[in-house]
Amino acid sequence: MNTPPVKISERLRITEIFYSVQGESRTIGLPTVFVRLTGCPLRCQYCDTKYAFQGGQWMDFDEIIAQLKQYNTPYITVTGGEPLAQKACYDFLSLLCELGYRVSLETSGAIDISPVDGRVSRVVDIKTPGSGEQQKNRLENLGCLTVHDQLKFVICDHEDYVWSINFLSQNTITVGCEIIFSPSFQQVSLKQLTEWVLADQINVRVQCQLHKLIWGEQPGH
């Protein structure tokens, strides 16, 4: 009997699948499997995953899940690139939840997050002026955030820091949605950002990229 072809909606273009520790967000430090999707409509100046803009290989959902099962962790992070640029990502996220994984999504905030399964923890970037992609922020996403989600600002300089504080004061953010300020690697030191936050008594989580403290800018971590 011939195997029926995989439907296009049941596959994704994948740059890499790898096992590491979560370097950011609420589950920082926990062993996690990362599924990095190919493609991104943004070009942030600090991007450290330019290799995911193109290439990759098509994999059906079953192939991806088979790889995930090799690792003894319930934590799965779907990232990119921009994972939501592939429409099948929405269904894939729901499948992961159905299989009992604890799923997080790392997204640029430029694409509608409202269709994302409510069981997924959405880590949504707000692009600061220093990113070069400020105009891509989809402000409608702010109304979709819940206590399950996190809003992240990558800070490139003091201007970005002030801009981010003003953004938070000018926009309604769901109470309980965690706010993360993260220094852009080698542009702002963790110490400097922490001192700014403490001096101004801003109630945000200061966070570095743990994986870069461990391995530097090595791809695949």
pLDDT (tens digit per residue) in 69-86: 999 999 999 999 999 999
φ/ψ of residue 87, rounded to 5: -60, -30
pLDDT digits (tens, 9 = 90+) for 84-106: 999 999 999 999 999 999 999 99
Quick one: pLDDT at residue 187?
92
Residue 147 inside a domain? The answer is yes
State both tokens at 71: 């690792």
Residue 2 inside a domain? The answer is no
Quick one: pLDDT at residue 1?
43
Domain count, the chain: 1
CATH number at residue 197: 3.20.20.70
Residue 221 inside a domain? The answer is no
Quick one: pLDDT at residue 193?
97
Model confidence, pTM: 0.90
Residue 167 inside a domain? The answer is yes
**How would you label 33-54 residue by residue, b for 16+ Cβ within 10 Å and e otherwise?**
bbbbbbbbebebeebebebbbe
With a cut of 60, say whether residue 4 has pLDDT above it. no
Residues whose CB is less than 8 angstroms from the CB of residue 151 and which lie 6 or more positions away in sequence, other chains included: 124, 126, 142, 145, 173, 177, 178, 179, 180
- Closest C-alpha to 52, from 77, 80, 13: 80
Q: What percent of the chain has pLDDT over 70?
A: 93
Range of the domain at 63: 9-215
Residue 4 inside a domain? The answer is no
Beta bridge partners of 57: 14
Quick one: pLDDT at residue 146?
93
Residue 89 inside a domain? The answer is yes
User: Is 12 in contact with 58 (CB distance < 8 Å)?
Assistant: yes
